[in-house]
Structure 1
Amino acid sequence: MVTLIDNKALRHPEKQKRPDSPIQRKPDWIRVRAPNTAGYAETREIVKSKGLVTVCEEAACPNIGECWDQKHATMMILGDTCTRACAFCNVKTGMPGPVDPQEAENVGRAALEMGLKHIVITSVDRDDLDDGGAQHFVDVINSIRRQSPGTTVEILTPDFLRKTGAAEIVIDAKPDVFNHNLETVPRLYLSVRPGARYFHSLRLLERVKERDPTMFTKSGIMVGLGETREEVMQVMDDMRSAGIDFITIGQYLQPTKKHAAIDRFVTPDEFKSYESIARAKGFLMVSASPLTRSSHHAGDDFARLKAAREGRR
């Protein structure tokens, strides 16, 4: 059982004023091609025509060219403005507008038109809503199931901090994968993820397994923010204690000079080591590489995740 630490000092953190940090030149193993394929253009047109927002664009994901060329896109619901100001995130911060009543229907239609076998749905944090946007997640899941019943659904949710009962209604909508990222090690939360609490996020994922033991759970962290190897090992142990099935580990890339500085670029060999250790700790699926992101190759990983569970029976 994971113990929830209720630290009142973390409930209303002040936005930190960070000095500008020069953006370091990326090593060769992180270079990606600019998106310019026909498949990319087609996906972009479908997304724009439905008035949808994607985390691929908002978070400046380095894999957007590859994913959109294959008609893989991670839909970001509940608008494009987040109520928090995490030091690593490129999504804009402020007071969001009203929830689009047509968004759920449009996401379901896009899943059908794109012929998606697997879709990832994420969102901004909506601390301004009574349920943190939980019912909207349910509406989107139901719309996809109705319009594109062959599409499996993975959700990447906010933490629903201080939103009693919110997580439960999302779990009960039975997404195929429930993902919530821990993002970094506990020591760095105040500087990197000041509006969140590590043990609350961990407990959220544990509650998913308690409510539905058959549901796949997933979480990820970034490295290169100043964490130690031992701290990464401890996060893996915490995840396994919470029953998390799938871990992703990727390199943090600084979006702008205003964001948290990169401490270092973790080498491909170090990522391979993390992958080996995570598998030894019992995760059903592990994705660890410089360009690993939560939704990168999510459909293929989900298929392997199901196969891995079947193999253990």
Structure 2
Amino acid sequence: MEYLEFELPIKELEDQLDKCQVIGEESDVDVTETCKQIEKKLIATKKEIYKNLTPWQRVQLSRHPNRPYTLDYIKSICGDSFLELHGDRNFKDDKAMIGGLGKIGDQSFMIIGQQKGYNTKTGQYRNFGMANPEGYRKALRLMKSAEKFGIPVITLLDTPGAYPGLEAEERGQGEAIARNILEMTRLKVPIITVVIGEGASGGALGIGVGDKVLMLENTWYSVISPESCSSILWRSWEFKEQAAEALKLTASDMKRMKLVDEIVKEPLGGAHTDREKTFSIVREAILKSFDEFKNLSPKELVDMRMDKYSQMGVFKG
């Protein structure tokens, strides 16, 4: 288990608890009461730390190396029913963007999301979750196929941004993202979007136009990452904590500004501390959201979606 800097008091107490249990097992000393006291203190410390997280600390949690990624959610929620589909039928298959058909219960969904790697090698293979234009075109192809067969769409957002390389720009990165946003606003099937990690810039928006947008508690959604914002405004990454605060990028900020619809609570300590519980919570949230839209006609669905996004950013003086 890896710990972030602000989690070190938790690590110390967990180490103490482990030592206490080892002493109890290896000697005749009764340490039951001591272990209970440490456990009680550990729970209280966790509650205190995670109740008062700063925006930057939530950004750190969203990037935790043990945090589940898109494929983890898909494998848990859909089991063996998931069939991955490849390629944009134009250039190539983008490994940073995955998608395919899967079942949750008796309902089929087209599931699309960014996938990061688990280590350096798989990180390079997945381009660290940064999709090229062909990734967004693949996503659009799958969404159009879902529309053709009346299958609802689920998108899982977890990206530090679309790939900013020269070759991506040459192949039309901006146009691919803009095209996705346009087509998603008028897609004739329900779209449920879940921010499961980082939701950065157009890279997230390219698959982020949903009828219902859910955000996990320790995720962020913003036009720019705190580090990039800091480097632009202060010419240094040292002010990333101030940038995170100013960007208003947390789930509670997004909900308050009515840019997302619902915050999905995570287990105490973050999604990585109890992955199975997290998968179960997300599964239920998706099914509950789908129930809201499954009986609407395509016209009602598109009209509601258009109204929802037209009202964003409106200021009434």
TM-score normalised per structure 2: 0.40
Q: Which has the higher contact order (CA 8 A, sep 6+)?
A: 1
* Bigger proportion of residues as helix: 2
TM-score, length basis structure 1: 0.40
Structure number, greater radius of gyration = 2
